[in-house]
Amino acid sequence: MAVLQVLSALALLWISLGFLRRRLYPTVLENVPGPPGESWIAGSLNYVRNHKGWDYHQNLADTFGKVVRLKGAWQSDRLLVFDQKAMYHVLVKDYNIYEETDSFIEGNKIMFGHGIFTSLGDEHRRHRRMLNPVFSSAHMRQMVPIFYEVAHKVKDVFLNKVQNGPQEVDVVNWMTRLALELIGQSGLGYSFDELTETSPQHKYGLMSKKLVTMQGDEFVRDWVMPRLTRIGTPAFRKFLVDLMPFEAIAGMKEIVNVLHDTSTLIFETKKKALAEGDEAVQNQVGRGKDIISILMKRNVLASDEDKLSDEEVLAQITSLTFAATDTTSGALSRILHQLAIHKDAQDRVREEIREARRENGGQDIGYDELATLPYLDAVCRETLRLYPPISWVPREANEDVILPLSKPIRGLNGEEIREIPVPKGTNVSVSLLAANRDPDLWGPDALEWKPERWLNPLPEALVEAHVPGIYSHLMTFLGGGRSCLGFKFSQLEMKVVLTLLLENLEFSLSKQPIIWQMFAISTPNVDPDSVIPTMPMIISMAK
């Protein structure tokens, strides 16, 4: 208890000094319009990070525009932006200045190890150099048969369920199991799940979902845990963790143990097979074509400058598995939900899929053909536009920097602001959600789900805005040096799954309204206060 009292006193002193410094030396950020800090301790963070925060975020965009000053902890000033020029500087031009926040880096080191999520600067570029080639088009083409092999299992489960009539099914549960098995076989050369009615869900999937919905425990995740990583020896840190009276600590320990143990098993199995030669690799799941097998082979031949340590390879396994599971399952669930709401769109995409299969001689639609299904592509793009799985990303300036704006804003003192001096240590978050819904670029129907917009020329204002995202004028997959490496992988696996599920199955709404929650990754539920995702839908045979 004495140790906890000392730590609490030091934390209170640190917070008090920061608050005093901000009162004595105010910054120009206070002139930027924004809502008042609703809480002296948490500022606006309880609203910004709230899993029911959709209306709050939309109101920020509608009321204050593309640059908003928010109050953070202890009334500190931070910015939320979706101005195109500001996003370009934060994510592309000056991305080495606007780094991931300290709490994000240190917190993720605990969860995922020292990998692509937790590296900065030259080290992050080295990780990307090693990972980029394994996401090439040539490798993606080889993934398609694996995607189909896995997706057929879930399609068969659904067909079996509805052979005697429509059935209510928890779709998000199956999409999570499917997404984990897709990244398992194609990414890791490992099988997590037999994907049958009677096979149990792998604990890794359960823990990753639990991690996504830990939004109520930011204090532990973002403040306590990152600072523990800098205190003393590992044994002393473990001693402190065991002393702490937080239920979230116990839950986090369980998550970390499952993620680490599973990734270690995969890594050691893969390492052993590679040492035994090509025949052993061919006998594994994925037949050596999976992402980690390719990465580990490249790593053997890499220069000393680029080579990844065993610890770093292990971290890539954990990072890629987590990143590819819940974003993909969430996106697939959202698409199926939208198609259940818009039955005319579901019928249209189903007919397009059936026609493509007929032209392919009744065989599964190949890699090149998948890219030529315009309406399926439009449905995917429009859903990823209006409903990005991740709503916003935080960054933190590691030095004083000027943030230019594409259009000036009016300060609280009435002056025009064309650029904002951002002090070192300022949190600058990019709203992917607001950027994708900007009516100045997408038009007055920006808040409507309209796949047809992608079948016509896009608005001239959007094209000329040069939105800095890497995908279709959208910010869904970010842009710049920390953009999503696997965005082509994600699109491809989603299209494979959708072609199989929609060809012979119809998805309809159940009597239970679906509520989407703004956790770190958007999650469906029927209970707005639950942290256990669920999405019941009625599945039947399609006509």
Q: Which residue has the higher pLDDT, 17 or 38?
A: 38
Residue 511 C-alpha from the chain's centroid: 29
Question: What pLDDT is stored for residue 38 in this prediction?
Answer: 79
Higher pLDDT, 171 or 280: 171
**Gap between the Cα atoms of 448 and 382, Å rounded:** 9
Q: Does the structure show a pLDDT above 80 at 365?
A: yes
Structure confidence at residue 473 as a pLDDT band (50, 70, 90):
very high
What is the average per-residue pLDDT within 329-348? 98
Mean pLDDT over 82-97 rounds to 97
DSSP-assigned states of every residue in 53-111: THHHHHHHHHHHTTEEEEE-GGG-EEEEE--HHHHHIIIIITTTTEEPPHHHHHHHHHH
The CA distance from 186 to 497, in Å, is 14
Q: Is residue 216 over pLDDT 50?
A: no
Greatest alpha-carbon span in the chain: 74
Check: CB of residue 64 under 8 Å from CB of residue 34. yes
Both tokens assigned to 323? 């990143």
437-458 average pLDDT score: 97
Model confidence band, residue 118 (pLDDT cutoffs 50, 70, 90): confident
Band of pLDDT at residue 430, cut at 50, 70 and 90: very high
Is residue 266 scored above 60 in pLDDT? yes
Amino acid at 458: L
- What DSSP designation does 221 have? I
Q: Which residues does 444 contact at the CB level (< 8 Å), separation at least 6?
A: none
% residues pLDDT > 70 (the chain): 86
Residue that is written with structure tokens 């396994």 in the block = 317
- Per-residue pLDDT, 211: 78
| 274 touches 297 (CB < 8 A) | yes
DSSP 223: I
Tell me what the pLDDT averaged over the chain comes to. Answer: 87
- Residue predicted with more confidence, 282 or 302: 302
User: Residue 502, SS3?
Assistant: helix
What angle separates helix 291-301 from helix 310-341, to the nearest 10 degrees?
150
- C-alpha distances out from residue 503 to 247, 349, 351, 416, Å: 46, 9, 8, 55
Per-residue pLDDT at 287:
64
Q: What is the mean pLDDT of residues 326-334?
A: 95
- Listing DSSP states for 439-488 in one string gives HHHH-TTTTS--GGGGGSPPPHHHHHHT---SBTTB-TT--GGGS-TTHH
DSSP 119: -
Starting at the edge strand found earlier in the chain, the sheet holding 77-81 runs 67-71, 77-81, 427-431, 392-397, 98-99
Average pLDDT estimate for 369-395 = 96
- What lies within 8 Å, CB to CB, of 64 at 6+ separation is 33, 34, 35
**171-183 and 137-162 are packed helices; what angle lies between their axes, rounded to 10 degrees?**
150
pLDDT at res. 117? 86
H/E element, 275? helix 247-276
Helix-strand-coil percent breakdown of the chain, rounded to 5?
55, 10, 30
CA distance 38 to 33: 15
Confidence grade of residue 288 (pLDDT, cut at 50, 70, 90): low
The predicted model gives 295-310 an average pLDDT of 87
pTM of this prediction? 0.90
The arithmetic mean of pLDDT across residues 234-247, rounded, is 58
* Predicted pLDDT of residue 451: 98
As a whole number of angstroms, the distance between CA 449 and CA 469 comes to 20
What is the Cα–Cα distance from 378 to 332, expressed in whole angstroms?
14
Lowest mean pLDDT among 165-174, 335-344, 345-354, 526-535: 526-535
Task: Identify which has the larger pLDDT, 345 or 133.
Answer: 345
**What residue type is 503 in one-letter code?**
E
Nearest to 184 by CA among 66, 98, 70, 265: 265
Look at residue 459 in the predicted model and tell me its pLDDT: 97
Chain centroid offset of residue 83 CA: 21
Q: What are phi and psi of 506, to 5 degrees?
A: -110, 135
- pLDDT (tens digit, 9 = 90+) per residue, 137-173? 888 888 899 999 999 999 999 999 999 999 999 999 9
* pLDDT band at residue 452 using 50, 70 and 90 as cut-offs: very high
User: How crowded is the C-beta side of 202, counted as CA atoms within 13 Å?
Assistant: 22
- Residue 509, strand partner residues: 537
Q: Phi and psi dihedrals of 400, rounded to 5?
A: -60, 135
355-360 LR contacts (CB < 8 Å, sep 24+): 356/499, 357/499, 357/503
Cβ distance 492 to 140 under 8 Å? yes
Does residue 303 carry a pLDDT above 70? Answer: yes
107 vs 114: CA distance, rounded Å: 11
Tokens read off for 391:
């709503």
What percentage of residues in the chain have a pLDDT greater than 90? 58
On the 0-12 / 13-18 / 19+ scale of CB atoms within 10 A, 201 is: middle
Task: Tell me how far CA of residue 128 lies from CA of 93, 122, 248, in angstroms.
Answer: 17, 10, 32
Cα dihedral angle (121, 125, 127, 130), rounded to 10 degrees? -170
Band of residue 72 on the pLDDT scale cut at 50, 70, 90: confident
* Residue 464 pLDDT level (bands cut at 50, 70, 90): very high
Neighbours of 244 (CB within 10 A): 17
Query: Do residues 426 and 400 make contact, with C-beta atoms less than 8 angstroms apart?
Result: no
Q: For 390-419, how does the pLDDT look when each residue is reduced to its tens digit (9 = 90+)?
A: 999 999 999 999 999 999 999 999 999 999
Say if residue 461's pLDDT is above 90: yes
